[in-house]
Each structure stands twice: as C-alpha cells, then as structure tokens.
Amino acid sequence: MKPNFTLRCATKLHFGVGVLDKITNYLKDFNSIMIVCGKTSARISGALGVVEKKLKELNKNYIIYDKVIPNPTRDIVNEGVELARSERVDLIIAIGGGSAIDTAKAIAITIPSNEDVWIFVKGLKIPEKTLPVIAINLTHGTGSEVDRYSVITNIETKEKIGFGYDNMYPLVSFDDPKLTLTMPKRQVIATSLDALYHALESATSLEKTPYTLLLSKEASQLIFKHLPLAINDLDNVDYRYWLLYASAIAGIAIDNSRTHLVHAMEHALSGYNPEIPHGEGLACLGPEIMKITYMYEPQILTELLKPIIPELSSKTEDAELVKTGLVRFQEDVGFRRKLSDYGISRDDIKELTELTYNSMKPLIELAPFKVDKELIKNIFLACL
C-alpha cells in the first residue's frame, strides 16, 4: 500500500554566495534583537560582522549571547531566556551550525512562557507562542536551518533529546557556502557525515515517503561525490555549495520522515559524554546499524549506497558489505575513530543502553526492525 503523508517545507531559505545581504529586508519590523552564537565561528566566518553592520545601519538595538557550545545544554538555553526577557527581545538571530540554531529555537519558544525549557523538551507542555528566529547557517551538517527540530542536553540526567513543534521553524534562513570555508577540516568531515546519516535514516525510517526517498538519494550521492573533493581543497566554494545543498535537503528529509536508531543511540552517547562531536558519534555507530537496516530495507540502501558500494545486489547476505563500505568511505575522507577513542569502554555500555532505551523511544520506534536492549548493547559493543 502506498503511504499517505504530510509534506513539510515551512521555512524560506535563501541559498547561495552573498545571500546574507538580503537579511536587511527581515530586520525592519523588530526593535530589540538578540544574536545567539558561539565564541568564534560567527566572528571568523564574517557572518557576525555582516549582521552587526546591517543592524547599525538600521539603528537597531541588539545584544550578543555568545555562550553556545556543541551539544547545547538546558542551562545555557535558560540563561539565554533570562537575558532575552530582561532586554525585551522581539527577534533572535542564530549564527552558527546546528548548536547555535538549536539553542536559538529553544530560547525562542521558552521566552513567552514562565517555564523551564525542559518542560518543552520532554513534551510535557506545548509552546503556544514563540519569538521569530532568523537562522544563518555556517555548517553543512544538521539541517536545523530548514527543520522544526532542536536538540538539547540535560547535564544532570545525561539526557540529550531532540524535540520539535510546528512553531519552531525559522522565519527565514540563509545558506551561503562561502561562510562555511572557515570550518576546520575535522568539522567539515563530521558535519557532512551527519548529513549523510540524515539521508540514510530518513530513507529507511518507518515514516519514509516517496518525497524523502528522492531527497535522501540526492543528498547521499552529493556527499559521496563532493566530500572527498572538499577535504582535499578546503577553499573550493563549489564543493561547499553542493555539500551545503545536500545538508539542506537531508534536513528537509528528516523534517518529514525523521531519523531512527543511529541518531537515537548517538543522542544517548553524546548526552553521556558531551565531548563527543555529534557527527563523529554517528559515524562510529552508523556502519553497524546500517548493516542491520540493510537486512530489512535492502533495495533502498542498495540504491543509496551504489556510488560507494557498487557490488551491492539487494540481497540480504550483502549486509556485511554495507558496514565495510561505509567504514571504507569514512576512512577515505579522514574519519577513523571508534567509541574507545573517546574513552568509552565496556563499563559504560550498560548505562548507555539504558539511556538509549529509556529516553530515545520515539526514534527507536521508527527503525524498520525490532529494537530491544540486547540489540542496543551489542551495537555499542561492536563499535568500541
């Protein structure tokens, strides 16, 4: 039976070199603006300088909240909320990758309420109002500039949870490939692998649609082609253009069909150890989980993975080829780590298994196969 589905594409995205000049058109109706960013990337990319110049030309009041970190936390969001409330902010501009945009979205839905952000993260209350967010994206990985999701970590409970509501889409977003050129090589690799697993998971999720299959195929093939080129020519804007485009359409794919077990286990992993970059955690877990996924979705993964594993034949006995092919691709582009390289050992597996199973059920349930604690434990062990 062909699925019925809802198509989401709710954000206006300006894409291409120099598009940030268009931001002036979206600033005129606001009076007090908060820029949400990290300490360095917004500045060295040049994006912050462009935005500040535009705001000064319009004589706008603005503040900068530059405490964003990878794997943004509940405390950082709540601190940003208090600052925004005290300054009567009516617009938030996020400048950065997924962490900055996720932080901005979480701040925006919390400001109009008297709640702690964690109430919304856990789904205990639905945000009725939100502040508008403008997203200026600086990486080609998360797709947060085009989706309704945010991912926030609670350090106390070690929970890292992705959540999303229909009022969390950015008002407008900007993807300029030139702004990604200052990314360190390690981040180029990690964020691109994040986008790759968005494509592979959304294509095999139980909520997949013909539309997301189309997006996922295009995104994965662009990454397979352009990531090896980009890491050997980091100043090439054309390669970044296509990686950024792949990330954006993979972001639309997960907005419609979501991810499943790779992201479920990685959220638990980097919630447990926030020092693990999200894309690298996915790359540690992804090949093993895609091997299992292939046994249930061989035709889809054969089509998506043909560029790097041409010998796939849609037979379930080819599953091991999926793992070795993905590992080979990741190694070829410079990623060669395992979980043990981040200090994860067998002693951590029980807690990681419980954390995954207990806090990630909404994603676990989207996997095309039955997931229990034993399977989660064995995957973690296989990836040490």
Position 1 confidence tier, pLDDT thresholds 50, 70, 90: low
**In the numeric block, which tokens belong to residue 96?**
């950065």
User: In 3D, which of 61, 139, 129, 128 has the Cα closest to residue 102?
Assistant: 139
CA 359 – CA 234 distance, rounded (Å)? 38
pLDDT one-digit tens code per residue, 302-346: 999 999 999 999 999 999 999 999 999 999 999 999 999 999 999
CA 184 – CA 166 distance, rounded (Å)? 33
Query: Is 0.75 topped by the overall pTM?
Result: yes
Structural domains of the chain sorted by starting position, each given as residue range(s) with its CATH number in brackets: 12-179 (3.40.50.1970), 184-382 (1.20.1090.10)
pLDDT one-digit tens code per residue, 133-150: 999 999 999 999 999 999
User: In 3D, which of 325, 340, 331 has the Cα closest to residue 287?
Assistant: 325
Return the DSSP state at 370.
Answer: -
pLDDT one-digit tens code per residue, 111-136: 999 899 999 999 999 999 999 999 99
CA 240 – CA 237 distance, rounded (Å)? 5
CA 269 – CA 124 distance, rounded (Å)? 24
CA 364 – CA 2 distance, rounded (Å)? 23
Question: In a 3-state reduction of DSSP, which class is residue 372?
Answer: coil
**In the numeric block, which tokens belong to residue 7?**
């198509």
CA 178 – CA 5 distance, rounded (Å)? 35
Helix (H) or strand (E) holding 1: none
User: In 3D, which of 337, 289, 288, 331 has the Cα closest to residue 308?
Assistant: 331
Whether residue 174 contacts residue 135, with contact meaning beta carbons closer than 8 Å, is answered with yes
User: In 3D, which of 197, 193, 19, 175 has the Cα closest to residue 97?
Assistant: 175
**In the numeric block, which tokens belong to residue 182?**
């200052």
CA 290 – CA 3 distance, rounded (Å)? 23
Whether residue 73 contacts residue 153, with contact meaning beta carbons closer than 8 Å, is answered with yes
Spatial CB neighbours of 269, under 8 Å, sequence gap ≥ 6: 276, 281, 284, 285, 339, 344, 352
Q: What's the pLDDT score for residue 347?
A: 98
Q: What is the mean pLDDT of the chain?
A: 96
pLDDT one-digit tens code per residue, 57-72: 999 999 999 999 999 9
Return the DSSP state at 10.
Answer: -
**In the numeric block, which tokens belong to residue 165?**
């509501």
Q: What value does the mean pLDDT take over residues 86-106?
A: 97
Q: What's the pLDDT score for residue 210?
A: 94
Question: In a 3-state reduction of DSSP, which class is residue 121?
Answer: helix
Question: In a 3-state reduction of DSSP, which class is residue 366?
Answer: coil
Residues in the chain: 384
